[in-house]
Structures are given as structure tokens and as C-alpha cells.
Amino acid sequence: MSEHSPTPPATTPGPTTNIDSPADGVKKAKGPLLGAIFLMATSAIGPGFLTQTANFTAQLGAAFAFAILASIVIDIAVQLNVWRVIGISGLRASELGNRVAPGLGWFLTLLVCVGGLVFNIGNIAGAGLGTNAFLGVDAKVGGTLTAGIAIAFFLIKRLGLALDYLIVGLGVLMIGLTVYVAVVSQPPVGEALRSSVLPDEYNWLAVTTLVGGTVGGYITYAGAHRLLDSGQTGPEHVRQVSRSSVTGIILTGIMRIVLFLAVLGVVAAGTSDLSGDANPAGAAFRIAAGEVGFRFFGMVMWAAALSSIIGASYTSASFLVSQRPDKRFTQNVVAIVFIVISCAAFVAIGTAPKQLLVFAGAFNGLVLPVGFTLMLYVALFRSKDLLKGYRYPKWLITAGLFALAIAWFLAVKAFQPMWALLSA
């Protein structure tokens, strides 16, 4: 990953690493590129997304399809631009910010890290819910053990080398199990399609929360920062950067749609009121597929939580420590401290992550337009120096400006209702 990545300098070629041959370079870059794709995808479909989607689907039914579609459209425009700007510049978002205006990068770092910390507390709580559903382990014990496993990936060299492939495996597991439940629950697909463009009601807090929980805050930069470790940066690698971002977007889009349909099938059946359940996603899996479905949910939630703990900690650390091979150990230490603080807060506040995860999504929805404004500013006005003379596509900037306008609109509309979530 980046300097905070558990992967040691010798095994992860960054921009300053010498590569003996093109074939060797491609082989060494493959792991980080796969890791970047799935880190973005699994960060976007973590416990927050599972809980937010189940919670709002239970409240809004098929009308929530509009929020799902809106989040996917915004995700495409945001990630294509963020990956391209960071990938071509070879600089982290915080470094770009400080190049544009002194202190701007550190302000963005503060927002991302605060949002990441809130989300990570929820991630660990989600891991506790997952282990409780899957193994019957106490949620606090399960969450703490999962945090320990995440720390191990930043400490142990051999585990660090396998991290990218672990994230890929967890992503495939999550999608596969959720597809199974979506098929079993038999959702009203036609009604969902209609509601995606003509919903019966508009809930802007729901849209902002889902957007923030799937593309806001640290999630915006998780894959792009990991991409820097592959060495595939600069204008000459723009096709690889674009292809990787599109692959990650497709994976997240599939997971969003499938989970929504899985929960919608349960809601449409009218057999239970999920909105009052402390664990609405788990309840949906249990109703759709019985005890086996509930165990499946535990595996999905745990996989989502572990990958999201790693993603949030790694990305937050990548904002705080410079992107150099000699700083990799420091980056790992910062990521570990981030996990320890999150875990301590989780143990202190208890095991009810529902409101916390929904609030974290809404908060990160407010962070999204701030950082994305920076990305588009660089694309529009600093391409000659920061993007090394690259001619940025007009269609991509246009799509980005459209998404940015929506992100600011959602942030304004959801700002006041967001705080009420903490007292709910």
C-alpha cells in the first residue's frame, strides 16, 4: 500500500524503485494494482454500507433504489477523476492540496482522518456483529480479535505480502454470499427499476449517507493512494489507471445493487420490520435464508469489516506520512495506532454501531465535496505543472463538475438532519 502499507519497500515498487525489466515491473505491480481495485471496492462496501443500505431500505422500500442509482453515478464521476488526478500526478491528495495552497492538504487530512476514525470504530463494531452471527462470539471480543488480525497485517512481513490477495478474496466472498441471499429473497426487481428514476419519495439524508458511506471521506482515496505503490503513475500509464478505476467501480456497483435487492426482497415480503432492528442487515439475511443465511451474513459482515479496518487505517495513515519507501515503517506504526484508538473507543462506547455507522456515512458525505473540489481544481487549472502537461479530457471534467454540484447540494441538504442521528 502506501507508506503505511504493510508491504515492505523491497517488495512494492514505488516511483523511485529500480525495475530490472518491463516484465519484472508488470509482475511486481500486479499485486498493488489488484489491491488498489479491491481496496476501493471493499472499503466502499464495508459494515457502514451494509448497515446503511439495510436501514434505509427497511424505511423507504423500493424508493431507496433512487439513492442506490445516485450513489453509483456519483461514484463513477468521482473515482474516474480522483484516480486519474492522483495517478497522473503521482502525489497523494494531501500533497496536492498543499501544492495548491499551503495548509489545504492538512485541512483535508484532518477531515479525512476524523471521518475515518468514526467509521473505523463502526468497522470494528461491525466485525463484532459478524463474529457474533457467524461463530457466536461476544461482539466486543470478536471486534477486538479482528482489530488484532488487522494489526498483524501491518506488523508481520509475510502477512503484509499476502494482503492484496486477501482483500481480493474477501471481496469475492462478500459478493458471492450476497448474490445468494438476493436470489433467495426474490425481490420485486421491476418496482426497484421504476423507483430508481421515479421514486415515491426523496430522502436526501439517505442519499447523502449512502454516497458518503460508499465514496466519501477516506474511501475516495483508498484505491488511488494504493495505486501509487504499483509504480503505474504518470501520463504514460493513464490507460492502466483508468481501467483499474473502472474495474473497482463495477465491483462496488454490483455489490450495492445486489445487497439492496436482497434486503428489498425481505421488506417487500412484509414478514418483519427491519427498521427497528439493531442489526437490520443480519435480520434480512436470516429472514431470507434462515439460520444458514444469518451465518452467511456473519461471514459477509466480518469480511467487510476486516477489509474496511485495513482500508481506513491504511488510507488515513497515507495522509499523515509522506509517500516514501524509507517512511514505510512509520506509516505502518501510524496505521496500527489508528486501529488501537478505534478499538479502544469501540470497547468504551459499546456494541451498537447502527447510528454510528449511519452518522459516519453522512459525515463523510460532507467531506466528499471538499476533497473533490480540490481534485477538479487541479484538473482544470494545474494540469501543466501538477499533471505534467497532461491534456485532461473535457468530458471527464464535465462529469466531475456535475457530480460535484450534486455532492455540494447533498451536503447542504443533509447537514442539519445529520446531527440528529447521534441522538436517535
Q: Which residues contact 395 (CB under 8 A, 6 or more apart)?
A: none
pLDDT over 70 (residue 268):
yes
The answer to whether 222 touches 311, Cβ cutoff 8 Å, is yes
Instruction: Give the least confident one: 6-20, 58-72, 341-355.
Output: 6-20
* All structural domains of the chain with their residue ranges: 34-421
Mean pLDDT of 219-226: 80
| Model confidence band, residue 341 (pLDDT cutoffs 50, 70, 90) | very high
Mean pLDDT of 395-417: 85
The answer to whether 138 touches 132, Cβ cutoff 8 Å, is yes
What is the percent of the chain where pLDDT is above 70?
78
SS (H, E, C) the chain: CCCCCCCCHHHCCCCCCCCCCHHHHHHHHHHHHHHHHHHHHHHHCCHHHHHHHHHHHHHHHHHHHHHHHHHHHHHHHHHHHHHHHHHHHCCCHHHHHHHHCCCHHHHHHHHHHHHHHHHHHHHHHHHHHHHHHHHCCCHHHHHHHHHHHHHHHHHCHHHHHCHHHHHHHHHHHHHHHHHHHHHHHCCCHHHHHHHHHCCCCCCHHHHHHHHHHHHCCCHHHHHHHHHHHHCCCCHHHHHHHHHHHHHHHHHHHHHHHHHHHHHHHHHHHCCCCHHHCCCHHHHHHHHHHHHHHHHHHHHHHHHHHHHHHHHHHHHHHHHHCCCCHHHHHHHHHHHHHHHHHHHHHHHHHCCCCHHHHHHHHHHHHHHHHHHHHHHHHHHHHCCCCCCCCCCCCHHHHHHHHHHHHHHHHHHHHHHHHHHHHHHC
pLDDT over 70 (residue 350):
no
The answer to whether 29 touches 184, Cβ cutoff 8 Å, is no
Residue 137, CA atoms < 13 Å, CB-side half-sphere: 20
Q: pLDDT at position 13, please?
A: 35
CA separation for the pair 45, 117 (Å, rounded): 17
CA separation for the pair 389, 321 (Å, rounded): 27
pLDDT over 50 (residue 18):
no
Q: Which CATH superfamily groups domain 34-421?
A: Amino acid/polyamine transporter I (1.20.1740.10)
The answer to whether 271 touches 288, Cβ cutoff 8 Å, is no
Q: pLDDT at position 209, please?
A: 72
Mean pLDDT of 133-144: 88
Q: pLDDT at position 396, please?
A: 93
Task: Read off the pLDDT of residues 382-397 as tens digits, 9 standing for 90 and up.
Answer: 988 899 888 899 999 9
Task: Read off the pLDDT of residues 85-114 as tens digits, 9 standing for 90 and up.
Answer: 998 998 889 999 999 999 999 999 998 888
Instruction: Give the least confident one: 7-16, 46-55, 168-177, 277-286.
Output: 7-16
pTM for the complete prediction? 0.77
Mean pLDDT of 262-266: 80
Q: pLDDT at position 401, please?
A: 95
Cell 499523515 found at:
320
Q: pLDDT at position 344, please?
A: 93
CA dist 247 to 34, 71, 238, 243, 251, Å? 10, 16, 14, 6, 6
Of residues 69 and 204, which shows the higher confidence score?
69
CA separation for the pair 307, 282 (Å, rounded): 18
Task: Read off the pLDDT of residues 291-337 as tens digits, 9 standing for 90 and up.
Answer: 877 887 788 788 888 888 888 888 888 888 876 667 778 888 999 99
CA separation for the pair 200, 59 (Å, rounded): 12
Of residues 321 and 158, which shows the higher confidence score?
321
